[in-house]
């Protein structure tokens, strides 16, 4: 199962900045017929996206009423890009804010589930279509210094696999993107080389068109998963050291 960009009608959550903005741009560049740019406040959507043809859509993925309203307002959708995310930059057990892990789960897991539940019937009615979940290498392997973000993204990875199985009969593909460190506001506290959001969007949309199940979008994601597979104990100890040192780096330096 796969879905083409050209002629598609897409909705992108968190489409106003970072990777979400890049997805909106690449979908429009690739010939999508319409792209709904979801944001909690449509005033936050950059003017260049609106000028390029993006359709503003008020959308809070943690609010089921908001998500259902979006599904009713977008009956023509054939592609859902679940990009909205939250990284609280806090620990999990020894948290400064014990409620942050719940917020991260609400956005990164339940937000994705809300979107899939609401838009699955829309996709089915429009021939099947595709769902793309923008996840993280921190969800594919345990990453201690990312607190509640890592387990929330891990839950969303399992959700992606289960949703793909459930929605296969209606012809809907579900692709989970394993993303490394990207040059966005979420990673502004991380040193080293970070990927361009547009490159992630291009890679992710290519995976969607091929009908990939789980796809590593960049070199960091590939290398990190390979290292963990070879020696998980060493990886876990390394992540603990990074957490306790307070120095966060991709491990790759600019050329």
pLDDT tens string 95-124: 999 999 999 999 999 999 999 999 999 999
Phi, psi of 82 (to 5 degrees): -90, 95
Any domain includes 23: yes
What pTM value is reported for the model? 0.92
Domain assignment of residue 192, yes or no: yes
Span 18-70, pLDDT tens digits: 999 999 999 999 999 999 999 999 999 999 999 999 999 999 999 999 999 99
Residue 104 lies in a domain: yes
Counts for the chain of helices (H) and strands (E), in that order: 10, 7
| Contact call for residues 137 and 154 (beta carbons, < 8 A) | no
Residue 254 lies in a domain: no
Does residue 2 belong to any structural domain of this protein? no
Check if the beta carbon of residue 147 is closer than 8 Å to that of residue 93: no
In a domain, 105, yes or no: yes
- CATH of residue 171's domain is 3.40.50.720
Number of separate domains in the chain? 1
Which tens digit of pLDDT belongs to each residue from 78-90?
999 999 999 999 9
- What are the tokens at 147? 């607190």
Structure tokens at 69: 């309203």
Question: Do 11 and 61 touch, CB atoms closer than 8 A?
Answer: no
Is 53 within the bounds of a domain? yes
What pLDDT, on the 0 to 100 scale, is given for residue 253? 36
What pLDDT band is residue 236 in, cutting at 50, 70 and 90? Answer: very high
Contacts of 10 (CB under 8 A, 6+ apart): 23, 27, 32, 34, 35, 36, 77, 78, 79, 80, 81
Interior/surface letters 189-200, b for 16+ CB within 10 angstroms, e for the rest: ebeebbbebbeb
Is residue 57 within 8 Å of 80, Cβ to Cβ?
Answer: no
Residue 251 in domain: no
């Amino acid at each position: 199962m796969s879905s083409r960009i050209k002629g598609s009608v897409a909705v992108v959550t968190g489409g106003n900045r970072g990777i979400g903005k890049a997805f909106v741009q690449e979908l429009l560049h690739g010939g999508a017929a319409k792209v709904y740019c979801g944001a909690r406040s449509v005033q936050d959507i950059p003017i260049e996206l609106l000028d390029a043809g993006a359709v503003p859509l008020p959308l809070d993925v943690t609010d089921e009423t908001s998500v259902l309203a979006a599904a009713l307002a977008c009956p023509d959708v054939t592609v859902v890009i679940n990009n909205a995310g939250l990284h609280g930059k806090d620990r999990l057990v020894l948290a400064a804010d014990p409620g942050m892990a719940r917020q991260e789960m609400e956005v990164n897991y339940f937000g994705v589930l809300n979107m899939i539940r609401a838009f699955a019937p829309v996709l089915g009615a429009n021939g099947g279509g595709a769902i793309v979940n923008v996840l993280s290498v921190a969800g594919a392997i345990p990453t201690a210094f990312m607190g509640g973000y890592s387990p929330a993204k891990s839950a969303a990875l399992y959700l992606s696999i289960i949703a793909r199985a459930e929605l296969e009969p209606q012809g809907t593909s579900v692709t989970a993107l394993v993303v490394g460190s990207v040059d966005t506001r979420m990673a502004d506290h991380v040193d080293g080389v970070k990927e361009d959001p547009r490159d992630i969007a291009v890679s992710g949309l290519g995976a969607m068109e091929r009908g990939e199940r789980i796809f590593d979008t960049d070199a960091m994601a590939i290398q990190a998963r390979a290292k963990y597979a070879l020696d998980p104990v060493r990886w876990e100890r390394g992540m603990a050291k990074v957490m306790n040192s307070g120095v966060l780096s991709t491990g790759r330096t600019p050329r």
